[in-house]
Homo-oligomer: A and B are copies of this chain.
Amino acid sequence: MGPQANRPIKALLTMEEILNDLHENEGATVTAVAERIDRPKSVVHDYLSTLEQLEYVVNDDGSYRLSLRWLDRGCKVRDRVSIYDLMIPELRRLAGELSNEMVSFAVEEEGSVVALEVIQSREDIEYETNAGMRFPIHCSGAGKAILAYQPEERIDSIIERHGLPEFTEKTITTREELVEELEEIRQNGVSYEYGEYHSGMATISAPILTPDDTPLGGISITGPERHMSEPEVKSTLSNKLLSKVNIIELNYSGRN
Distance between Cα atoms of A58 and B219 in the complex (Å): 23
Q: Are B132 and A54 closer than 8 Å at their CB atoms?
A: no
A237 within 8 A of B: no
Task: Name A57's closest neighbour in chain B (CB-CB).
Answer: B2
- The A interface is mostly helix, strand or loop, or mixed, namely mixed
Task: Name A134's closest neighbour in chain B (CB-CB).
Answer: B72
Task: Name A5's closest neighbour in chain B (CB-CB).
Answer: B49
Known: A2-B53, A109-B67. A46 touches B9 (CB 8 A): yes
Question: What are the 6 tightest A-B residue pairs by CB atom distance, in nearest-first order?
Answer: A74-B74, A71-B74, A11-B11, A5-B49, A75-B132, A70-B74
Name 28 A/B residue pairs within 8 A (Cβ), A-sorted: A1-B55, A2-B54, A2-B55, A5-B49, A6-B49, A7-B46, A7-B49, A11-B11, A11-B12, A12-B51, A12-B54, A55-B110, A58-B109, A67-B77, A67-B109, A68-B78, A68-B114, A68-B116, A72-B74, A72-B132, A72-B134, A74-B74, A74-B75, A74-B132, A75-B130, A75-B131, A75-B132, A79-B130
